[in-house]
Amino acid sequence: MTLLRVENLSKHFGGLGVLTEVSFAAEPGEKLALIGPNGAGKTTLLNVIGGQLSASSGDVWFDKRRITALPPNKRLHLGLGRSYQINNLFFTLRVLDNVLLALYGGEKSHFRMLGTLVKRGDLLAHARRLLETVGLWEKRFHALDSLSYGDQRLVELLCAFTSRPKLVLLDEPSAGLPTAEASAFADVIRRLSGETAILFCAHDMDLVFNLADRIMVLCFGRIIASGNPQEISADPKVREIYLGADDKC
């Protein structure tokens, strides 16, 4: 059963065509990477799928529903999650409080004080599982702003999974991390995501080749190659792009 289906999707900004007739599908649990040169349209594609940008033409189907015109919060409630931006977090609050707030935000009910959230055993147990998965349970009482940048990125990443989504969109999840931390990131994302599908874009080829079941290559707004990591690394067109000849795609 297909989880996500993108059909002939195009996006123009004024006269500038950024995505042209993009079509692909993702299966439940699949880890799908989107790679391509700067300006290829990767972030734009994630934004159109997530609902932050509207499509100029074409359709997005998710879990058998046509979601092309739905706003991001409705997509989230259907199980289509997106990485938190780091500036959605509360830096002066403790790590645990940030996770509890993200967990609570994924629920459909009303406002509560943070103090009462801590007493919610189910939320706390879920927060503990997530924090243990990324190795941050020991730091749960630290203020977020006292953590290293890498640990802050882990909290940000973790918050994308709090609503138990079916699919998470991640834009450059390891950007800005030192190489050593970035290479461990693939394991963390795999553990955290479990059965959740991921569509992620990245320039970090270690992350791409360690995490992806399948890789799609976007160039000037078109998918020019798609395959498993072995097929993509052997593809002559892709090799040319990554040897620097961007104009060849």
Ligand X SMILES: Nc1ncnc2c1ncn2[C@@H]1O[C@H](COP(=O)(O)OP(=O)(O)OP(=O)(O)O)[C@@H](O)[C@H]1O
Torsion angle defined by CA atoms of residues 123, 126, 132 and 137, in that order, rounded to the nearest 10 degrees: 0
Residue 95 or 207 with smaller CB distance to Mg ion: 207
Q: Which is nearer to Mg ion, 18 or 225 (CB)?
A: 18
Q: Name the minimum Å distance from CB 47 to ligand X.
A: 8
Near Mg ion in 23-42, by CB under 5 A:
42
Q: Compute how many other C-beta atoms are within 10 angstroms of the C-beta atom of residue 84.
A: 18
Report the site for Mg ion in 189-208 (rule: CB under 5 A).
Answer: none
Residues that contact Mg ion, how many (by CB under 5 A)? 2
38 touches, from ligand X, Mg ion, none (C-beta below 5 to 8 Å by class): ligand X
How far, in Å, CA of 217 to CA of 37, rounded?
9
Nearer to ligand X, 40 or 130 (CB): 40
Strand-strand pairing, 31-35 and 197-201: parallel
* Interaction partner, residue 91 (Mg ion, ligand X, none; CB < 5-8 Å by kind): none
For the bound state, the minimum distance from the C-beta of residue 227 to ligand X, rounded and expressed in Å, comes to 19
Work out the widest C-alpha separation in the chain, in whole angstroms.
58
Residue 13's binding partner out of ligand X, Mg ion, none, with CB under 5 to 8 Å set by partner kind: ligand X
Contact 100, 116 (CB under 8 A): no
Smallest distance from ligand X to CB 120, Å: 38
Q: Which is nearer to ligand X, 38 or 92 (CB)?
A: 38
101's tokens: 């707030």
- Closest approach, Cβ 85 to ligand X, in A, equals 14
**The entry of ligand X, Mg ion, none that residue 40 binds, CB within 5 to 8 Å by partner kind:** ligand X
Residues 41-80 touching Mg ion, rule: CB under 5 A, are 42-43
Nearer to Mg ion, 43 or 133 (CB): 43
Comparing CB distances to ligand X, the nearer of 41 and 131 is 41
131: Cβ contacts below 8 Å, ≥ 6 apart: 95, 96, 99, 137, 140, 158
State the minimum distance, in angstroms, from the CB of residue 44 to Mg ion. 8
Which residues would be at the binding site for ligand X (CB under 6 A)?
A: 13, 16, 18, 36, 38-44
Binding site for Mg ion (CB under 5 A): 42-43
